[in-house]
């Protein structure tokens, strides 16, 4: 049996990781700073692993996020969570966008850097302000990382693993996707050699001694 992997670059890529893989959970303290200017478009995620918010956010600015009541969210400037944070000491303040009332404050979770953990009581938009201690500002380029801790892990395609490769007959055309495909626990390197650098899905075809061609014509 000849095995080959068709790599369709994913439009969306989420990886599920348990909470204990991160440095430590965030906090929700009283206090904080709710003064500043908005920066970037409103962000949305259902990923329970960290994703980037708006890059090049300065101290004294805030990013905006869609949230849903009953879900738990984290916002982090910790390096261990993948944040870009050139400043030695920062704080994060979460507020209700409608009223600007402070909901949570964080400081010194991972060293001198902040990380908020919040159980949402609203469905709507919240703000996360970045400041240096004492409500200070700067012109450093920060990227907050955030996630929906309680959101369900996405379902991978049925042929995400090599053992679940989808059979293809000669001349057959199949529709497929790599949305939510993974790079872990696939045995890809052992099976066909090499180390994949993008999430992919698996297909298999039985050889007949003739030359075969696999094509991605017509993909988007």
User: Tokens 């679940």 — which residue?
Assistant: 164
Lowest mean pLDDT across 6-15, 81-90, 179-188, 196-205? 6-15
Mean pLDDT of 60-83: 97
pLDDT tens-place string over residues 7-62: 333 332 233 333 334 558 999 999 999 999 999 999 999 999 999 999 999 999 99
Q: How many CB atoms neighbour CB 1 within 10 A? A: 8
- Residue 3 pLDDT grade (very low, low, confident, very high; cuts 50, 70, 90): very low
Whole-prediction pTM value? 0.65
CB hemisphere CA count around 12 (13 angstroms): 12
- Which residues are paired to 72 by β-bridges? 119
pLDDT at 132 over 90: yes
Give me the domains of the chain, ranges plus CATH numbers: 24-148 (2.60.120.380)
pLDDT at 78 over 90: yes
Q: In the prediction, which pLDDT does 10 show?
A: 31
**Which of the residue ranges 46-50, 121-125, 196-200 has the most confident prediction, judged by mean pLDDT?**
121-125
Q: What is the three-state SS of the chain? A: CEEEEECCCCCCCCCCCCHHHCCCCCECECCCCCCCEECCCCECCCCCCCEECCCCECCCEEEEEEECCCCEEEEECCHHHCCECCCCCCEEEEEECCCCCEEEEEECCECCECEEEEECCCCEEEEEEEEECCCECCCCCEECEEEECCCCCCCCCCCCCHHHCEECCCCCCCCCCCCCCCCCCCCHHHHHCCCCCCCCEEEEECCCCCCCCCCCCCCC
């Amino acid at each position: 049996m000849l095995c080959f992997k068709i790599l369709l670059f994913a439009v969306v890529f989420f990886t599920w990781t348990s909470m204990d893989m991160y440095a430590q959970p965030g906090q929700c303290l009283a206090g904080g700073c709710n003064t500043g200017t908005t920066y970037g478009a409103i962000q949305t995620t259902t990923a329970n692993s960290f994703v980037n918010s708006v890059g090049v956010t300065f101290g004294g600015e805030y990013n905006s996020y869609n949230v849903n009541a009953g879900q738990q969210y984290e916002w982090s400037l910790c390096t261990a969570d993948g944040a870009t944070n050139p400043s030695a000491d920062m704080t994060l303040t979460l507020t209700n966008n409608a009223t600007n009332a402070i909901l949570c404050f964080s400081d010194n979770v991972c060293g001198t850097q902040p990380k908020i953990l919040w159980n949402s009581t609203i469905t709507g938009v919240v703000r996360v302000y970045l400041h240096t201690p004492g409500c200070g500002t700067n012109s450093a380029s920060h990227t907050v990382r955030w996630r929906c801790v309680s959101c369900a892990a996405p379902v991978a395609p049925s042929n995400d693993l090599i053992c679940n490769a989808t059979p293809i007959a000669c001349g057959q055309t199949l529709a497929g996707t790599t949305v939510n495909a993974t790079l872990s626990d696939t045995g890809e390197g052992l099976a066909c050699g090499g180390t994949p650098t993008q999430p992919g899905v698996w297909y298999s075809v039985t050889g007949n001694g003739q030359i075969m061609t696999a094509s991605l014509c017509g993909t988007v």
